[in-house]
């Protein structure tokens, strides 16, 4: 059963019962037909023999290989797997949906669950796991749907989450600005700068200005910021602005030019060039393709 919200993204009502720890569905199919959607529940989704499928999570668009495993904990983060160039007739999909209430606060904050807690926080933007992590949990995923003892099924599911939380090579999918997720840094100085960028991304932001905010020289701050975030400051600002621009492309009727200037880009041709480099298509094409998937049922 599904409902639609004002932005015409499908709001899925999942079969998860209040009395169950999780809901699992295993499907064998020839194609993906379900439209783009979101839901309150957390979701771990595994696909096998689905090379060529296009996976969209927030503003991330990727074509997957034979195996794909993604964790999504963002309650408003839209996502879809679409057929695209997949010609397989032996697609296998395992979807596990679970409530955030599965880990009550006094439980998830214990030291033994620290890595799981951090993973669930990171997965608010969608988290894709590499093949090495998939191989570690494949046998547990493979047998989970057929486990008849509910208690052991829960233990196996927690084991899957724990093993995945130890993976250092998982990569986030959607940008934080598109997913409307606050970014938290262990460094107070980086956090201060990130908060400022999120509040003032529409304005001109200068390196010297940010460096002065945290009492550092421009050169020292540039090195410090990249060390702590993994990104150059200019790339970080561009990614934040792109996330907001894509959200407007998806949710508003503003023109591409209006969105360009609304999100801090001061040159339309430069905006188009950066957008195509980062997303592989023009802003107009992204909007058109995204809206085709917004089917109301």
DSSP string of 55-101?
EEETTEEEE--SEEEEEE--TT--EEEE-TT---S-EEEEEEEE-GG
pLDDT at 286 over 60: yes
Average pLDDT score over residue span 94-117: 83
> Distance of alpha carbon 222 from its chain centroid, rounded?
27
pLDDT at 184: 76
CA dist., res. 73 & res. 188, Å (int): 26
Q: Where are the domains of the chain?
A: 2-172, 181-292
Can you tell me the distance from the alpha carbon of 132 to that of 39, in angstroms, rounded to the nearest whole number? Answer: 28
Q: What are the E-state strand segments in the chain? A: 2-4, 10-12, 22-29, 37-38, 42-48, 54-57, 60-63, 67-72, 79-82, 91-98, 127-128, 171-172
For the chain, give the mean pLDDT.
Answer: 89
Q: Is the pTM of this model over 0.85?
A: no
DSSP notation for 89-140: S-EEEEEEEE-GGGS-HHHHTSGGGHHHHHHHHHGGG-EE--HHHHHHHHHH
pLDDT band at 11 (very low <50, low <70, confident <90, very high): low
What was the pLDDT predicted at 1? Answer: 40
- Per CATH, the number for 181-292 is 1.10.10.60
Q: In the CATH scheme, what is the homologous superfamily, with its name and number, of domain 2-172?
A: Jelly Rolls (2.60.120.10)
Structure-model confidence comparison of residues 1 and 266, the more confident one: 266
Looking at the predicted structure, is the pLDDT value of residue 293 above 90?
no
Q: Mean pLDDT, to the nearest integer, of 61-82? A: 94
pLDDT beyond 50 at 175: yes
């Amino acid at each position: 059963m599904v409902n639609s919200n004002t932005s015409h993204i499908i709001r899925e009502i999942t079969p998860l019962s209040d009395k169950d720890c999780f809901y699992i569905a295993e499907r064998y199919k020839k194609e993906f037909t379900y439209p783009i959607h979101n839901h309150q529940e957390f979701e771990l989704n595994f696909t096998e023999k689905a090379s060529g499928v296009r996976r969209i999570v927030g503003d991330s668009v990727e074509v997957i290989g034979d195996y794909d495993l993604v964790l999504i904990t963002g309650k408003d983060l839209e996502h879809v797997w679409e057929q695209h160039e997949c010609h397989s007739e032996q697609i296998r999909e395992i979807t596990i949906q679970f409530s955030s209430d599965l880990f009550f606060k006094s439980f998830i904050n214990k030291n033994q669950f620290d890595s799981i807690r951090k993973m669930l926080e990171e997965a608010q933007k969608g988290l894709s796991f590499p093949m090495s992590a998939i191989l570690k949990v494949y046998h547990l995923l493979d047998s989970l749907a057929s486990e008849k003892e509910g208690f052991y099924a829960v233990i196996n599911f927690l084991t899957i989450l724990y093993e995945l939380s130890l993976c250092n090579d998982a990569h986030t999918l959607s940008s934080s600005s598109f997913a409307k997720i606050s970014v938290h840094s262990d460094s107070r100085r980086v956090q201060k700068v990130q908060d400022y960028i999120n509040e003032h991304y529409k304005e001109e932001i200068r390196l010297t200005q940010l460096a002065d905010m945290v009492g550092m020289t421009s050169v020292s701050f540039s090195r410090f910021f990249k060390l702590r975030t993994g990104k150059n400051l200019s790339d970080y600002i561009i990614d934040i602005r792109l996330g907001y621009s894509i959200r407007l492309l998806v949710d508003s009727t503003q023109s591409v030019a209006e969105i360009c200037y609304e999100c801090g880009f001061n040159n339309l041709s430069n905006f188009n060039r950066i957008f195509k480099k980062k997303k592989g298509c023009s802003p107009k094409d992204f909007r058109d393709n995204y809206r085709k998937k917004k089917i109301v049922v």
